[in-house]
Amino acid sequence: MYYVQLIFQFQYIMEIGIGMFGDLSFNPDTKEFQPAGERLHQIIEQIKLADELEIDLISLGEHHRPDYSISSTEIVLAALATVTKRIKLASGVTVLSSADPVKVYQDYATIDLISNGRAEIIAGRGSFIESFPLYGYNLKDYNSLFEEKIELLHKINNENPVTWSGKHRAALQNQPVYPQADRPIPIWIAVGGTPESVHRAARLGLPLIVAIIGGQPKQFKPLIEFYKEEYIAFGHDPEKMQIGVHSHTFVADNREKLIENYFPVYAAQMDRVGASRGWAPYAKQQFLHGIDPEGALYMGEPNYVAEKIIQTIEMFKISRYVAHIDIGAPSHKDMMRCIELLGTKVIPQVRSAFV
């Protein structure tokens, strides 16, 4: 149990960030989504506030659907780099299976240089598949593409020039890659619940972030313990081990306001996604179970959300929590209030618990 004790010992470096996909609000009268440009400008204003409130991280997800505004996380993060000072700028996730690792590295090295060392890559296989036909990849290669490309990205990040060969991409022979960041860019592996993905992250010695968006968080404890054991078994330094959790989160002034204002837009987005996956309509009872103490939705008034995050940190011995806050496109006003409550109420309470 040495590694568990060690991770808990280093909890003072606990980071709390926010995640967004750039969800677009939907007008049921006009049957139209919010203009993407309007939402992107809102995101910039929201992250400027997060930076001022010393929230640690922004993580932006990549999608290629009509209900999201962000398909190129790199462009949005580069824009954010010019209007923020301290917040870390991460993808969440880079769908690496349908991307080119050389271009991914070049883009994030550029962001890292613009932001004075604040870029991060959170790479995953992705839970949406629209990028595969869009960029000309075969979905049957879903797993092997990611396996090969994460190896190459990891190599580029640590070696320059690069010599490499694989199945899905042209080989590189003593190839320099420019620009070069002034340091290895942090690369995290994002996973849902597959042990294979966890094993891969542990083998490479890369930080792990687990998406917990359904069921009960405690169900994920065996998966996180598996990562810790495998990380050490592969000979990596336990002092460098980093584990995070990414969960749907929303902070409101009170529970009643959350249910009244946020549940309808949250359920509508869950139903839009679920329509293509055969899900039953999202019921209010599901939402209420999710926001209960044992559920996977970290939503409610500030003290309640803070206590739930504290319990999760203690249960998993993690070093990062990412609060995903824009599912369903809450209003800009509600988003700003959520960020304000996170920065002034929730995060100080969580940090004080681990001093």
Any idea which residue has 């995060």 for tokens?
Answer: 347
Cα(198)–Cα(97) distance, integer angstroms: 16
Q: How do the pLDDT tens digits run along the chain, 355 residues long?
A: 444 444 444 444 689 999 999 999 999 999 999 999 999 999 999 999 999 999 999 999 999 999 999 999 999 999 999 999 999 999 999 999 999 999 999 999 999 999 999 999 999 987 788 999 999 999 899 889 999 999 999 999 999 999 999 999 999 999 999 999 999 999 999 999 889 999 999 999 999 999 999 999 999 999 999 999 999 999 999 999 999 999 999 999 999 999 999 999 999 999 999 998 899 999 999 999 999 999 999 999 999 999 999 999 999 999 999 999 999 999 999 999 999 999 999 999 999 998 7
Question: What is the amino acid identity at position 276?
Answer: S
Return all residues near 287 (Cβ < 8 A) that are at least 6 apart.
259, 263, 266, 267, 297
How does pLDDT run across 302-324, given as a tens digit for each residue? 999 999 999 999 999 999 999 99
Collapsed DSSP state (helix, strand, coil) of residue 298? strand
pLDDT score at 66: 95
pLDDT score at 188: 98
Torsion of CA 203, 209, 210, 211, to 10 degrees: -140
Helix axes of 302-316 and 221-233: crossing angle, nearest 10 degrees: 40
Residues in the chain: 355
User: Which stretches of the chain are DSSP H helices?
Assistant: 2-9, 36-52, 73-81, 101-114, 131-135, 142-158, 195-204, 221-233, 255-257, 263-275, 284-291, 302-316, 332-341, 347-352
What token pair was written down for 302?
């500030």
Whether 248 and 296 have beta carbons less than 8 Å apart is answered as yes
Closest CA to 247 of 87, 32, 5, 18: 18
Return all residues near 9 (Cβ < 8 A) that are at least 6 apart.
none
Closest CA to 251 of 60, 55, 117, 108: 55
Cα(301)–Cα(311) distance, integer angstroms: 16
Whether 55 and 118 have beta carbons less than 8 Å apart is answered as no
The phi, psi pair for 135, rounded to 5°, reads: -100, 5
Architecture of 2-352 per CATH? Alpha-Beta Barrel (3.20)
How does pLDDT run across 45-60, given as a tens digit for each residue? 999 999 999 999 999 9
Q: Strand 26-27 to strand 15-20: parallel, antiparallel, or no bridges (unpaired)?
A: unpaired
Q: Which residues are 164's β-sheet partners? A: 172
Q: Strand 162-164 to strand 172-175: parallel, antiparallel, or no bridges (unpaired)?
A: antiparallel
Can you give 172-236 as a three-state secondary structure string? Answer: EEEECCCCCCCCCCCEEEEECCCHHHHHHHHHHCCCEEEECCCCCHHHHHHHHHHHHHHHHHCCC
Return all residues near 314 (Cβ < 8 A) that are at least 6 apart.
none
